[in-house]
Every structure is written in structure tokens, then in C-alpha cells.
Chain A
């Protein structure tokens, strides 16, 4: 039996525990939400260190992989260092591979095609997905400035995203993460106005972070496709009520929930039984194939 845990800065109401079998190995997968409390997250990591096979860090990233460059999130790196024996991952390895694969699956299924209008609410945290969407010929708007910094300016090219990451490099190291991304109960808040609703209406597909999507989406999303993960039954209900046609989750269904990429990557690291640093992109691709992870489609309406 392997045991992997996602320690998340998110709300504890989203916690779960599932026992699954992956490639013939029984794996206990769970999530512990720390309600935006960095000290609690640090203590939880210390308590789990050496006691579990791998830890995922949720609600915060350690690295942003943008093209060939890697950008450190200061708060994420400092938090991850509270575990020294058990490998800690943030999902960036799996995002880089599984999320590309999911886009390719959607292309094969006809859910995406050249010219499909995509709103990606944030792309710096999942650049692999952004690259795959652009490579597929989709007409993309990247909402990193809009939804993270409230600057009404959509980015439309990968070069603009790379430029933003470079210019923001030093800030990523020092600015408190909660100022850039909602943590804890703030994840459940909804935008008080519809200022950015038109970006959702203009898109065929809305992709990216679940919290940012739910926070800013208008009440009505008839016929849209949502590409995200970390969904819960309540998320699915909310999207169904909004008229969303199809939900595609990048991570597989775990009896009603889809885990964060950090948790799924932790599972891969536990199964692979080799040092985290030794895992290559090809290893992740191979494990995703072996586990049959390629995105899951849920027709809601």
C-alpha cells in the first residue's frame, strides 16, 4: 500500500480520502486543506514527512515552467522545504505532460478544432496546456492579468506570457502568494460584478484553474466546454446549472472528485520509486499512458 497526501492551502471543506488501485498497486490518496494557513501547512508537511510515500502541494506552486524557463514561487518553495525525507511535488511535472495529452484527446474527440475560441483563465501555471492549445490552432485569450491582477488586458500569445513571467520573476519570489491567487475560503468567493463575464461569453471553451473559473464565471454558460480539474460534486452541479455542455477534467475521476495535479503527480512519484529529480518528461508520459490518464469527458447537459 502506498500513501500519498495533498497538503493544500485551499479550504478544508474539499478534503477527501480515496483508496484506489493504480497499475496493480493499492494507493491511499487524500487531501488535507489548511485553509490558507501557511503555518498549519508547514506543520502538516513536517508531520507527514517520512510517514507517507509522496506529498503534493496544493493551492500553491513551487515552480512555474514557462517554455524552457523555470520560475520559483518563493512561498511555495519555502513551504515545500518543511519536508526533507518525503518527496514534495506541486503538479508542474504532470501539468506539463497530462494537460497536453488532454488537449490532444479533445482534438481527437472534436471538442477542440482549429479556430476554437478558448479563454484560459490563467496560463502561467499550466504553460503546457497553453502551448498545446496554441499548437492546435485555437484562438486563445490568456487571463493571467485579468483574473490574477484584475488588469483588463487579455494576453493572446505565448511570447506575451513568457515576457510577463520574466518581468515578474523577482515578484514571484517575494510577493505573498495569497495576493496573486485565492487561498482558503477566498477560493469560494464569487466576483461581486460581471466585469469580466464577456470573456466567458465570447469563448467556446473555458480552460484552467477551477477556482478562478468559478469565481468569475457568469451565471449562464450555455453550451460551453470547461477544461479544468480538482472538481467536486458541487462543482459539477454548479456547472450543470449554468448550462455547461461538457466538463473535461485533466485528472481522472476518483469516485466523484478529480484530484489536483499535485496529488496525481505525488501518486506517480510514489509508484515510480525513483527520486523525484530523476523523473523525466518521458517518465510522466509513460506513466500517464500506463495508468490510462488522458483527460475525462463528462457530458453535463
Chain B
């Protein structure tokens, strides 16, 4: 079982990976969004903010968000470490992503660019 600390670390790693990827930074330069990550089992909240191509991690829930990603702590940690494709838990219904279709596709695209071979 992952802890909130591990999930927090996976999100920081995700943000770092996004920021280290020059191509992704250019692709996301006009994608300014607030993403709320919520762990259902531990009730922990985190925020990723994409602004001008840079992703910033912060603790806690945002006041408003464009996308809300929720699952149990274990699944979220695995997804944001890139150990599991988000497609698997998403299709199984254990990962929920709420937001506009375009934003859901964009977030999935980012994970594909980071981790798929």
C-alpha cells in the first residue's frame, strides 16, 4: 500500500519529468490548467498546476480546478510514477478523470509522451 508521502513524491517526480522534457514544455505552453488529485482511501489532496509549459506541485486541494483525478493512493502513485498506464485503471473504472474531453485527452497525452516507448 502506498502512503500519502509516496503519492506526494510520485507527483513531484511527475512534475519534474514534465519540466525536464523540452518538447512537452513547448507543447503545453498554452495549456494552463489546475489539476486536483484526490486519493479516495486516505482523503489526501494535491494540486498540479500547468502554466506556460511548467508544471508546479503543491500540497492540498485547489480552490477551483479544470481536471480532477481520483483513485486510491496506490493506483495514483503507480500512475504518476509511470509504473502503470492510466488507461488500465481508467478502463477498469478504478481511476476517474473528470474534466473536459480535451483536457482529459491532453493529460493522457502527457503521460504517453513521458512513459510510452
CA of A259 to CA of B78, assembled, Å: 47
- B105→A179 contact, CB < 8 A: yes
Distance in angstroms from B101 CB to nearest chain A CB is 6
Q: Is the interface of A mostly helix, strand, loop or mixed?
A: helix
With a CB–CB cut-off of 8 A, which chain B residues contact A179?
101, 105
- B85→A170 contact, CB < 8 A: yes
CA of A78 to CA of B9, assembled, Å: 39
A168-B112, A174-B87, A174-B91 known; A152-B117 Cβ under 8 A:
no
- Closest A residue, CB atoms, query B31: A151
Q: Does A281 contact B (CB under 8 A)?
A: no
- A149→B87 contact, CB < 8 A: no
Q: Does A150 contact B (CB under 8 A)?
A: yes
- B112→A171 contact, CB < 8 A: yes
With a CB–CB cut-off of 8 A, which chain B residues contact A149?
105-106, 109
CA of A149 to CA of B107, assembled, Å: 11
Q: Does A166 contact B (CB under 8 A)?
A: yes
A166-B116, A179-B101 known; A153-B87 Cβ under 8 A:
no
With a CB–CB cut-off of 8 A, which chain A residues contact B27?
145, 151-153
CA of A179 to CA of B23, assembled, Å: 23
With a CB–CB cut-off of 8 A, which chain A residues contact B87?
170-171, 174-175
Interface residues of A in 143-172 (CB under 8 A from B): 145, 149-153, 166-171
Interface residues of B in 1-37 (CB under 8 A from A): 23, 26-31
Q: Does B102 contact A (CB under 8 A)?
A: yes
Q: Does B108 contact A (CB under 8 A)?
A: yes
- B102→A150 contact, CB < 8 A: yes
- Closest B residue, CB atoms, query A160: B23
- A170→B102 contact, CB < 8 A: no
Question: Can you give 23 contacting A-B residue pairs, CB < 8 Å?
Answer: A145-B27, A149-B105, A149-B106, A151-B28, A151-B31, A151-B106, A152-B27, A152-B30, A153-B23, A153-B26, A153-B27, A166-B117, A167-B112, A167-B116, A168-B112, A169-B116, A170-B87, A171-B108, A175-B87, A175-B105, A175-B108, A179-B105, A180-B105
Report the number of A-B residue pairs with Cβ-Cβ less than 8 Å. Answer: 41
With a CB–CB cut-off of 8 A, which chain A residues contact B109?
149, 151
- B106→A167 contact, CB < 8 A: no
CA of A206 to CA of B105, assembled, Å: 26
CA of A222 to CA of B91, assembled, Å: 46
Which are the 9 A-B pairs with shortest beta-carbon distances?
A167-B116, A153-B27, A167-B112, A151-B27, A174-B87, A150-B102, A168-B112, A149-B109, A174-B91
**Other than the known A145-B27, A168-B116, A170-B85, what 10 A-B pairs have Cβ atoms closer than 8 Å?**
A149-B105, A149-B106, A150-B102, A150-B106, A151-B28, A152-B29, A153-B26, A170-B112, A174-B87, A174-B91
- Closest A residue, CB atoms, query B101: A179
Interface residues of A in 22-57 (CB under 8 A from B): none
CA of A150 to CA of B85, assembled, Å: 22
A149-B105, A179-B105 known; A167-B117 Cβ under 8 A:
yes
Interface residues of A in 117-153 (CB under 8 A from B): 145, 149-153
Distance in angstroms from A284 CB to nearest chain B CB is 31
- Closest A residue, CB atoms, query B26: A153
Distance in angstroms from B71 CB to nearest chain A CB is 17
